[in-house]
Amino acid sequence: MAIRRIFETPDPILRQISKPVETFDDELRTLVADMFETMYVAPGIGLAAVQVGMPIRLIVIDLQEPADPDDPESPVVRQPRVFINPEILWHSDEEVPYTEGCLSVPEQYAEVMRPERIRARWRDENGGEHEMEIDGLLAVCLQHEMDHLEGILFIDHLSRLKRDMVLKKLAKWRKEQGTAKAA
Ligand code: K1U
Ligand code: ZN
């Protein structure tokens, strides 16, 4: 397994439309393993392949929630999930706010509204088909990651004013880190 570089805004690769996965082979499964390792180290709860420079329709998610939902100090349970060629078959009219982050827009968070529930279909890394109704943080995260497959970042959901504020804060943070890049 290997940790891969995470591409950050404004890298144009993040704006590419990812291509469907057609071959479910060991090369794909190695990429999946590398993406989980990269995501856990980052740390994050999701990652789309395009974020590591591979514009294919592959997403990994692990919400890493505490074993006991009533005890935030209880040990985290790992539940790695792989979504390949995901499709949203249905979404609720009700939307919910969630303060999102993105490993490609490091250290920046902003509230985004998304449908509360979705029905999704996808394949796993062995080509097996899955279909499920999803809500809560998994629905938020899957929709965020599916946006990556279309070249969309969470900041694109913000007003121009809020987006500019986030990008200004990002530039300031990068300057403080000593790795100034144009936002
Ligand atoms: O870059 C990404 O797409 C990953 C992103 C996923 C996400 C987070 C929040 C809402 C929607 C989608 C992240 O993982 S950002 C980091 C983060 O949220 C986190 C990091 C450590 C522990 C818990 C959360
Ligand atoms: Zn993201």
Instruction: Give the tens place of pLDDT for each residue, 67-97.
Output: 999 999 999 999 999 999 999 999 999 999 9
Per-residue pLDDT tens over the stretch 144-170: 999 999 999 999 999 999 999 999 999
Q: Would you say the CB of residue 149 lies under 6 angstroms from ligand 1?
A: no
Residues, CB-to-ion distance under 5 Å, ligand 2: 102
- Atom 22 in ligand 1: which residue has the minimum CA distance? 44
Q: Name the residues annotated as catalytic.
A: 145
Ligand 1: distance of its center to the CA of 144 in Å? 9
Q: Would you say the CB of residue 102 lies under 6 angstroms from ligand 1?
A: yes
Please enumerate in sequence order all residues whose Cβ is within 8 A of that of 45, keeping only pairs 6 or more positions apart, or say none: 39, 61, 62, 63, 64, 137, 141
Cβ atoms of 2 and 136 within 8 Å: the answer is: no
pTM listed for this prediction: 0.96
